[in-house]
Amino acid sequence: MKALGIYREIQNSPNRESDDALVLKAVMGQLSILKTKTTLITPEEFDRVDASGYDLIVPMCETYPRLMRLKKIEIETGVVMVNPSDSVLGCYRTRMLESFAATPNLSYPPTEVRRTKAEANRRPPAFEAGGGYWIKRGDVHNTCTFDVVFARDWREAETIRREFESREISDMAVQRHIDGDLIKFYGVGPGQWFTWFYHDPSTARRLPFEIEDLAAQAELAAKAVSVEVFGGDAIVTPEGGIFVIDINSWPSFARVRAEAAVQISRRLRLRLRQTAERKK
């Protein structure tokens, strides 16, 4: 069995360049122990090489042209890809929110997706947001600290909108701020492995909640966009409610890298075995 891993673009790893690379190295290291010949390349190298002839491709890259090339390879060769291009694209924020809206029982904050043009934002959203808004770029997840910005009111939101428009960001998500503890979660499957931790343990109120409820919401979000290796963010409210606010493909797994590498490589080998069985 042969596996190709593709690193993430540096611009899509804000403050996480080394963490993103290290988790992919760790996963490929585990795969090499599990009777798999592995190759690791940069996104730029992927642009120049023949990527056919592999049984498995593990892409962390996220730019649209590369995802389209990966999709073409997947269609033409039937190679196992985790996560596949359509799933990575499904994590682009506007697409993600559409998938969330179509997923029964998935809880996420009231959100509107808008164009960044002034005429589309003369009025605030229909939902109440006494605690403020989060204004988020609508395509990829944040590539810098200015891609997700808190606004106390609609006047501040308008300032952020103008800044987005000046950066040629065409769409934005306007989301109600939810009071509570911010949690980061990681998973594989969904359903094989799940873990979580507080985004900032020093400020967390440690509001009580059921871990199975958090895992269920995370898995619903992962299934909504069809990712097998995923991470995301959620809010636990004072009432014990859980709201998913983001899901993404191939996070850094920085705090749990060693365990994640074992679980991810196990998943990848399972996918290879399943594919081999279908071909018999």
| pLDDT above 70 (res 17) | no
Per-residue pLDDT of 91-121, as tens digits, reads 999 999 999 999 999 999 999 999 999 888 8
Alpha helices in the chain (DSSP H): 17-33, 43-48, 64-77, 85-90, 93-101, 154-166, 211-225, 257-279
Q: What is the mean pLDDT of residues 10-23?
A: 77
Which domains, ranges and CATH numbers included, belong to the chain? 2-83+256-279 (3.40.50.11950), 110-176 (3.30.1490), 181-249 (3.30.470.20)
Instruction: Tell me how far apart the terminal alpha carbons of the chain are, to the nearest angstrom.
Output: 16
DSSP 8-state symbol, 267 = H
| pLDDT above 80 (res 13) | no
Angle (CA) 9-141-201 rounded to 5° is 105
Residues 6+ apart with CB under 8 A from 138: 92, 93, 94, 113, 169, 170, 171, 172, 173
Higher pLDDT, 120 or 40: 40
Residue matched to tokens 């998500």: 173
pTM of the predicted model as reported, rounded to 2 decimal places: 0.92
If pLDDT is split at 50, 70 and 90, which confidence band does 164 have? very high
Per-residue pLDDT of 49-95, as tens digits, reads 999 899 999 999 999 999 999 999 999 999 999 999 999 999 999 99
Q: What is the mean pLDDT of residues 122-147?
A: 86
Query: What pLDDT does 143 receive?
Result: 63
In whole angstroms, give the CA distance from residue 278 to residue 43: 31
Cβ-count burial 228-250 (b if 16+ within 10 Å, e if not): bbbbbbbbbeeeeebbbbbbbbb
| CB-CB contact of 60 with 7 (8 Å) | yes
In whole angstroms, give the CA distance from residue 209 to residue 241: 7
Per-residue pLDDT of 179-214, as tens digits, reads 999 999 999 999 999 999 999 999 999 999 999 999
Q: What is the mean pLDDT of residues 114-143?
A: 88
